[in-house]
Amino acid sequence: MAFDESHDLFRATCRRFAEEKIAPFCYEWEEAGEFPRELYRDAARAGILGAGYPEDLGGGGGDPLHALVGIEGLLHGGSSGVVASLCSHGIALPPILKMGSPEQQRRFVPPVLAGEQIAALAITEPGTGSDVASLTTRAVRDGTDYVISGSKLFITSGVRADLVSVLCRTGPDKHGGLTFFVVERGMPGFTVSRALEKTGWWASDTAELSFDEVRVPQANRIGEEGSGFVALMQNFQGERLALAFYGHATAELALQDALAYAKERSAFGRPLTGFQVTRHKLAAMATKVAAARTFNYRLAERVAAGEYLVGEVSMAKNFSAQIANEVCYDAVQIFGGMGFMRETRVERLSRDARLLPIGGGTSEIMNEIIAKSLGL
Ligand SMILES: Cc1cc2nc3c(=O)[nH]c(=O)nc-3n(C[C@H](O)[C@H](O)[C@H](O)COP(=O)(O)OP(=O)(O)OC[C@H]3O[C@@H](n4cnc5c(N)ncnc54)[C@H](O)[C@@H]3O)c2cc1C
């Protein structure tokens, strides 16, 4: 599977959508900590939410590469937070698509791809994040139902989600005792405990969720009991590759802004580009962006073709997260005081980039995985 013209077209569609429907309102939405729900429907109508999903479930067909270039296009709206929440179905739906019954897929997937419902993925808990298999939210079988108790933290789109793919403990075995359930808004005992305030990703609603003896029918259990850990590990590959794309795309936007500013801003009687230190800084930034993008593109093609490249995906996530932060730091520096002002895009990009070495598995955990892939 390779990138072709259809991916270029889709990236351009997403960019146009972002420039028209996100960028003009971005500042306001960032301040408000969320964006209008209508944006999900607009994105669905524009064919953005369904890219890469099966047509019989309301998707637009295509392949996983479309969703990745979609991130590059959407980030032109200027807010990673908007993209993260608008596309939270990208991490919430795969367990249902991989392991759900045809009936479950018909029930849960089409309303999300139509932009009518919002989906979130809930793994992390107050007591455990990196060590996912130590999670303690329990689902206890009771007749034909399960009763879920516990809490989940840092859940993207969690404040507004209509359905949440929740990983629960159903058995004592650390890895083999985990199972996915779909918990739906309105189920008694399921509440949003807190909307969280963050360093970046302001327009993305991030929640702590509480499950107080939530009764969930067996029809909402995804896959067999104990199948959750393997499904999660597969899910992480998609999420980490997507975050790698956030990384190089964020860095690219910061580079573009810094280039434009350095040409137009003068000091000591010449443009900033008249100083060799600035030119070399921009050269180093451009090199990092090109290296990350090239690596991510090549890797995405291999992953989309079916290769299971855990070490490389972790490398891509780490490298892109790192260069995004370095390039954004340098871009802010080139902007001087203006780079510290909320009215500039680089200010937001630099805050948003800080999430990249943390979300979806931290840099340290990625390095552990890379080390393992080296036989260490
Ligand atoms: C904005 C945002 C959105 C998020 N969205 C979601 C979401 O939608 N769904 C979801 O389930 N989760 C989500 N998360 C959670 C995210 O995946 C976790 O924060 C992340 O996996 C790290 O877990 P933790 O925060 O518990 O850190 P911890 O696991 O407590 O780690 C703390 C520090 O210890 C280090 N550490 C831990 N173990 C090791 C080790 N073995 N070796 C070396 N160092 C180690 C870590 O690298 C880190 O530096 C989100 C987080 C944020 C900030």
Q: Which residue lies with its CA nearest to atom 38 of ligand 1? A: 130
- Backbone φ and ψ of 28, nearest 5°: -60, -45
State the pLDDT at residue 329.
Answer: 98
For residue 358 and ligand 1, the question of a CB distance below 6 A is answered with: yes
Asked if residue 363 and residue 260 are part of one domain, the reply reads: yes
- Backbone φ and ψ of 116, nearest 5°: -90, -30
> Which CATH number do you get for residue 80?
1.10.540.10
The Å distance, Cα 365 to ligand 1 centre, comes to 9
For residue 354 and ligand 1, the question of a CB distance below 6 A is answered with: no
Asked if residue 365 and residue 234 are part of one domain, the reply reads: yes
For residue 355 and ligand 1, the question of a CB distance below 6 A is answered with: yes
The Å distance, Cα 278 to ligand 1 centre, comes to 35
Domain total of the chain: 3
- 345-348: long-range contacts, CB 8 A cutoff, minimum separation 24: 345/78, 345/253, 345/254, 345/257, 346/254, 346/257, 346/258, 348/30, 348/78, 348/79, 348/200
Amino acid identity, position 218: Q
> Which CATH number do you get for residue 248?
1.20.140.10
Asked if residue 175 and residue 56 are part of one domain, the reply reads: no
State the pLDDT at residue 374.
Answer: 97
Q: Which of 112, 91, 92 is nearest to 37 (CA)?
A: 112
The Å distance, Cα 45 to ligand 1 centre, comes to 34
For residue 154 and ligand 1, the question of a CB distance below 6 A is answered with: yes
State the pLDDT at residue 136.
Answer: 98
For 237, the domain range is 230-373
Torsion (CA) 143, 176, 94, 163 in degrees, nearest 10: 40
* Distance separating alpha carbons of residues 210 and 159, to the nearest angstrom: 11
> Which CATH number do you get for residue 187?
2.40.110.10
State the pLDDT at residue 212.
Answer: 98
Instruction: List, as one string, the DSSP characters of 198-252.
Output: -SS-TTS-EEEEEEEEEEEEGGGEESSTT-HHHHHHHHHHHHHHHHHHHHHHHHH
Asked if residue 96 and residue 12 are part of one domain, the reply reads: yes
The Å distance, Cα 135 to ligand 1 centre, comes to 13
Asked if residue 245 and residue 349 are part of one domain, the reply reads: yes
Asked if residue 142 and residue 260 are part of one domain, the reply reads: no
Q: Which neighbouring-strand residues pair with 167?
A: 180
For residue 331 and ligand 1, the question of a CB distance below 6 A is answered with: no
Q: Which residue lies with its CA nearest to atom 24 of ligand 1? A: 129
Q: Which residue lies with its CA nearest to atom 12 of ligand 1? A: 124
Asked if residue 359 and residue 293 are part of one domain, the reply reads: yes
State the pLDDT at residue 1.
Answer: 78
Whether residue 195 contacts residue 206, with contact meaning beta carbons closer than 8 Å, is answered with: yes
Strands 163-169 and 119-122: parallel
Q: Report the nearest atom of ligand 1 relative to the CA of 362.
A: 47
Asked if residue 235 and residue 196 are part of one domain, the reply reads: no
Q: Give the residue from 52, 80, 113 where a domain finishes.
A: 113
For residue 206 and ligand 1, the question of a CB distance below 6 A is answered with: yes
Asked if residue 147 and residue 255 are part of one domain, the reply reads: no
Q: Give the residue from 202, 226, 250 where a domain finishes.
A: 226
Q: Which residue lies with its CA nearest to atom 45 of ligand 1? A: 364
Asked if residue 102 and residue 42 are part of one domain, the reply reads: yes
Give burial (CB, 10 Å; 0-12/13-18/19+) of 31.
Answer: exposed
Q: Give the residue from 62, 83, 113 where a domain finishes.
A: 113
Asked if residue 349 and residue 254 are part of one domain, the reply reads: yes
The Å distance, Cα 233 to ligand 1 centre, comes to 15
For residue 362 and ligand 1, the question of a CB distance below 6 A is answered with: yes
Give burial (CB, 10 Å; 0-12/13-18/19+) of 307.
Answer: exposed
Active site residue ranges = 239
Q: Which of 37, 45, 35 is nearest to 13 (CA)?
A: 45
pLDDT of the chain, 376 residues: tens digit per residue: 799 999 999 999 999 999 999 999 999 999 999 999 999 999 999 999 999 999 999 999 899 999 999 999 999 999 999 999 999 999 999 999 999 999 999 999 999 999 999 999 999 999 999 999 999 999 999 999 999 999 999 999 999 999 999 999 999 999 999 999 999 999 999 999 999 999 999 999 999 999 999 999 999 999 999 999 999 999 999 999 999 999 999 999 999 999 999 999 999 999 999 999 999 999 999 999 999 999 999 999 999 999 999 999 999 999 999 999 999 999 999 999 999 999 999 999 999 999 999 999 999 999 999 999 999 9
State the pLDDT at residue 34.
Answer: 92
Asked if residue 237 and residue 222 are part of one domain, the reply reads: no
The Å distance, Cα 25 to ligand 1 centre, comes to 30
